Amino acid sequence: MAIRSFIAGIGHFLPPQTVTNFDLEKVINTTDEWIQQRSGIQTRHHVEPGTGASDLGTQAALKAIEDAQIDASEIDFIIAATLSPDHYFPGIGVMIQANLGLFPIGALDVRNQCSGFIYGLSVADQYIKAGTYKKILLVAAEVQSPNLDYSDDGRDIAVLFGDGGAAVILEAYEGEDKDKGILSTHLFSDGRFFKDLWMEVPSPREKPVFSYDMIDSKRCFPKMNGRHVFINAVEKMPDAVNTALAQNQLSIEDVDHLIPHQANDRISLMVAKKLGIPVEKVIRNIDHIGNTTAASIPIALDEALKEGRVKEGDLVVLTAFGSGFTWASAVIRW
Ligand code: UT7
């Protein structure tokens, strides 16, 4: 039987500080009503200064290792997805490796923003299918709150993003169930629109790489063409799911749970409508987590598992869309 990978363990970690829309009203020219109507978000988590994505990722990784009932030393390789690394370089994969004491296994960073988890899952799946590695730690973690523009210019983004981390252990499946595990991953991008959701500077294209002008002009903060991102998200995520279902000779009726990237609850509901999947099958947690970019899908998956919503044998479909543009889907038989 061909080797297939499966998620053997999962965990997530949120910084303890919860920030409500009413808290944001005190620092941003916004209202709870606007945020809830436009995005469905009520609360999100923000880190205290001094905490980076590698810290959230490490805590999540420890939980995933425990859940998989393995010893950390059994991990062959690390993949870490983030758009908000602790430092310009190196990536957070090596920091997580150091925190876990897993010398000298390889650590790869994935820079695919909201699609980062599925991109990382795809890479891990290929390595396991090829027989290169047997147990891979895949981490997705984001710390976005310290670098948001809380003025009117950035309030569209500042109210959406939250901090958080999640991790999974991918293993080669050795059991008898030929249907179990990652059935497929599909990855897409369209770099023509990279400026529709980006953080322009600091950039080695400019000299100096950092300047006061970058702060004054606010080019150092994430910027988004919200409407264009929205329109593409509600088109590309259903496309990615339909491509995946067709390849697996499955139909939307076969899907037990759809986990879209939690960018905006209106987007998740429109994706569900386009796919013709009942809303009860769509896992949505943006109300209390916000948009945690790469971490959003595995946090939602972990919550759904802990609530007992996702059960052995269920068909779980993941889909994401975000900066790049990048988008993706994955089909998993739990
Ligand atoms: O995870 C990566 C992918 N990201 C996404 O998928 C996000 C996609 N985009 C969206 O979710 C939505 O575009 C937003 C939630 C960001 C914005 O919703 P919208 O319905 O597209 O609003 P808008 O940007 O068109 O703004 C409508 C109004 C504007 O005021 P005027 O020009 O009509 O007077 C904005 O200035 O809302 C104003 N506005 C706000 N008002 C209160 C923008 N942000 C805020 C805010 N509070 N936080």
Q: What is the largest CA-CA distance in the chain?
A: 61
Task: With a cut of 90, say whether residue 175 has pLDDT above it.
Answer: no
For 108-122, give the DSSP string: EEE--GGGHHHHHHH
Which pLDDT score, from 0 to 100, does residue 176 have?
A: 86
Contact residues of ligand 1, CB 6 A cut-off: 30, 34, 38-39, 114, 155-156, 159, 197, 226-227, 229-230, 233, 263-264, 267, 291, 293, 322
DSSP 331: E
- The string of pLDDT tens digits covering residues 309-324 is 999 999 999 999 999 9
- The model's pTM: 0.98
Q: What is the pLDDT of residue 155?
A: 98
- Taken in order of first residue, the domains within the chain and their CATH numbers are 4-173 (3.40.47.10), 181-333 (3.40.47.10)
Overall average pLDDT of the 162-191 stretch: 95
Coarse DSSP helix, strand, coil percentages of the chain, rounded to the nearest 5 percent: 40, 25, 35
Q: What residue's CA is closest to ligand 1, atom 35?
A: 156
Average pLDDT along the chain: 98
- pLDDT at residue 294, as a whole number: 98
Determine the distance separating the centroid of ligand 1 and the alpha carbon of 309, expressed in angstroms. Answer: 32
Confidence bin at 73 (pLDDT 50/70/90): very high
Q: Which among 28, 156, 293, 327 is the best mutation to test ligand 1's pocket, defined by most ligand atoms within 8 Å of the CB?
A: 156
Tokens of 116: 């980062």
Q: What is the pLDDT of residue 174?
A: 87
- pLDDT at 1 > cutoff 80: no
214-233: pLDDT as tens digits: 999 999 999 999 999 999 99
Query: Atom 11 of ligand 1 has which residue's CA nearest to it?
Result: 264
CA 43/CA 47 separation, integer angstroms: 13
167 pLDDT higher than 90: yes
State mean pLDDT over 297-308.
98
Q: Which two tokens stand for residue 212?
A: 């006061």
User: Which atom number of ligand 1 is nearest to the Cα of residue 30?
Assistant: 47
State the Rg of the chain over Cα.
19
Q: Which atom of ligand 1 is nearest to the CA of 227?
A: 13
- Report the alpha-carbon distance of residue 276 to residue 111 in Å, rounded: 31
Give pLDDT tens digits for 251-293: 999 999 999 999 999 999 999 999 999 999 999 999 999 999 9
Find the range with the poorest average confidence among 54-68, 111-125, 170-184: 170-184
Q: Which atom of ligand 1 is nearest to the CA of 229?
A: 8
| Mean pLDDT of the region 54-74 | 98
pLDDT in tens, 132-162: 999 999 999 999 999 999 999 999 999 999 9
Q: Are 14 and 53 in contact (CB under 8 A)?
A: no
Query: What is the C-alpha to C-alpha distance for residues 195 and 209, in angstroms, rounded to an integer?
Result: 18
> What is the enclosing helix (H) or strand (E) of 59?
helix 53-68
Nearest CA to ligand 1 atom 13: 226
For residues 19 and 43, the answer to whether their CB atoms sit within 8 Å is yes
Mutate to test the pocket of ligand 1, among 38, 293, 327 (most ligand atoms within 8 A of CB): 38
In the reported structure, the alpha carbon of residue 285 is separated from the centroid of ligand 1 by a whole-number distance in angstroms of: 20
Identify the pLDDT of residue 224: 98
Task: State both tokens at 88.
Answer: 């310009």
Contacts of residue 212, Cβ cutoff 8 Å, sequence gap at least 6? none
Catalytic machinery residues: 114, 261, 291
Task: Give the nearest ligand 1 atom to 230 CA.
Answer: 8
Q: How far is the CA of 224 from the centre of ligand 1 (A)?
A: 9
Residue-wise pLDDT tens digits, 85-137: 999 999 999 999 999 999 999 999 999 999 999 999 999 999 999 999 999 99
Question: What are 179-206's pLDDT values in tens digits?
Answer: 899 999 999 999 999 999 999 999 999 9
Residues 71-100, buried b or exposed e (16+ Cβ, 10 A)? ebeebbbbbbbbbbbbeeeebbbbbbbebb
What band does 30 get if pLDDT is binned at 50, 70 and 90? very high
122 C-alpha to ligand 1 centroid (Å): 32
